Homo-oligomer: A and B are copies of this chain.
Amino acid sequence: MFSKQVYENRRKVLIQKMAAAGEKGLLFFLGNVEAPAQYKDNCYKWRQESCWLYYFGLDDPRYAAILDIESGKETIYADDVEIGDIIWMGPQPTVQSKAELVGVAATAPYEKAFEAVKAAKAAGRPVHFLPPSRYYNTMVTEKLFPGEKPSTVFIETVVSQRLVKEPCEIEAIDDACALGYEMHSVGRDNIRIGIVEQEIVGKMEGLTLSKGWGVSFPTILTQHGETLHNHLHDKVIEPGKLMVIDAGAESNMHYASDFTRTYPTSGKFTTKQREIYQIVCDCNEHAFSITRPGITYREVHLATMHKMLEGLSALGLVKGDLDEMTADGIAGLFQPHGLGHNMGLDVHDMEDLGENLVGYDRGQIRAKQLGLGSLRMARNLKPGFVITDEPGIYFIPALIEEWKEKGLGKGIINFEKLKDYYDFGGIRLEDDVLVTETGARRCGPKRLPILPDDVEAAMAK
């Protein structure tokens, strides 16, 4: 947990901003409860709700809170451990003493939070709430606020705060990146022909559990990188393949890291693999080099796609005017996803608050184009933003065939030549980037090897 002042200040700013926007009434916060994996008492590893962590820090289940915009009153709602629970849970500090750790003076039993919401609504006071992410929170929210929508101004205020990372958060993200670096190093060092992918995943995730909370998202480790979210790890590692490892650690402070590297399973890239790899590597570098306050990440995305098309042109896979091809979204065939996303307490930071409210400035309209349409972060960059830089090139036979059939990219895409790439797989290269006052820096104390020669050298060790 951070110091008491951090949480006090965050809540103070939140209330001030809400009041400044002319809002009245209550702000309702609902922490997570335990998530059953099997039956109700056999749960997944405990993870607190991120907005709760941000404003209230307390890392225990079944907490709620209410902030009163007008009076400034702050109340935490949770139940003290009963005597019978001591046998199972041991002596526990009181809710009161925990609340004091984050600067909240008033506490009350958990169920009273719901009564307070109902009473305020009955008295005609507005009660602002955020979109729930887990199903328990959905159930509670639907019962408390039937037919009502989460408050957009509340969401926007929270987003504006959480987007700009404080120094203590940047330090926490650097720590998560240090662990992510170790995690990826274990992954790379354990690639062996003939073993099952799952064996590597276990070693990587074991490390995150030894030193952090665990993984910041389910590990992607696959010889079929062309399937973007492939969470199966049941394949035997074969020679000559490309292995995409997209994985990150969540630290004990609950901040995320998120890196991707792509390795030749045999330890050396073939010429064909190296050609495509170099394009992706150049794109990753180009995006980083132009990331700075004042540019939108949409522009960075498009400039990166321009760079990608330049590389693909040189290989004869596409031909045409680079500006036109970029505008027409030709790159979407090769990279059907966006360049990156916000990162923080969530690996896709605040995604539960709504992708567009989080990733787009007012007035920015999300494109429909394949690739650009999936861009999660398009905003005008500000110092303190933490984003990912993750270009990729994939050869997805079903998608290529679809474009060919529909006549998309006709005369521009060399469909004949693309047939040679149907068993290629995919390449993605991802770093985590902090926007600074003057430009950007990569997060974490060390950068994973990324240049093709460096990757081969690391694998040869």
Identify the interface centre among A88, A210, A217, A402: most chain B CB within 10 Å of its CB.
A210
Cα A214 to Cα B375 with chains together (Å): 33
Considering only CB atoms, which chain B residue lies closest to A234 in the complex?
A: B252
Q: Are B396 and A87 in contact (CB under 8 A)?
A: yes
Confirm or deny: A336 has a beta carbon within 8 angstroms of a beta carbon on chain B.
yes
Kindly supply a per-residue 1/0 record for chain A positions 354-387, scoring 1 wherever the CB is within 8 Å of any chain B CB and 0 otherwise.
Answer: 0000000000000000000000000000000000
Let me know if A202 and B210 touch, CB within 8 A: yes
- In the bound assembly, the distance between CA atoms of A346 and B198 in angstroms comes to 22
Alpha-carbon distance A203/B203, docked complex (angstroms): 8
Measured CA separation A88–B229 after assembly (Å):
5
Of A10-18, A39-47, A320-328, A447-455, the stretch lying at the interface with chain B is A39-47
Instruction: Select which of B43, B135, B336 is within 8 A of A136 by beta carbon.
Output: B135
Sort chain A's interface into a size bin: 35 or more
Q: A73-115 toward B: CB 8 Å interface, digit per residue (1/0)?
A: 0000000000100111111000000000000000000000000
| Cross-chain contact B202 with A348 (CB below 8 angstroms) | no
Chain A, residues 422-440, CB within 8 Å of chain B (1/0): the string is 0000000000000000000
Q: So how many copies of this chain end up in the complex? A: 2
A365 shortest CB reach to chain B, Å: 21
Q: Are the C-beta atoms of B207 and A91 separated by less than 8 Å?
A: no
On whether the beta carbons of A206 and B202 are closer than 8 Å, the reply is: yes
Residues B35 and A348 in contact, CB atoms below 8 Å apart: no
Can you spell out 8 A-B residue pairs with CB atoms less than 8 angstroms apart? A35-B35, A36-B135, A38-B133, A43-B218, A44-B44, A46-B231, A205-B205, A206-B206
Cα distance A211–B201 in the bound complex, in angstroms: 10
Asked whether A123 is an interface residue with its Cβ less than 8 Å from the other chain, the reply is: no
Q: Which of B39, B204, B211, B352 contacts A352 (CB 8 A)?
A: B39
**A22-75 interface with B by 8 A CB criterion:** 35-47, 50
Q: Are B50 and A217 in contact (CB under 8 A)?
A: no
- Contact, CB under 8 Å: B134 / A346: no
Chain B residues contacting A139 (CB-CB under 8 Å) are 135, 138-139
Taking a contact as CB atoms under 8 Å apart, the answer to whether A39 and B351 are in contact is yes
Contacts of A217 in B (CB 8 A): 42
Complex CA–CA separation, A138 to B203 (angstroms): 35
List of B residues within 8 angstroms of A89 by Cβ: 227, 229-230
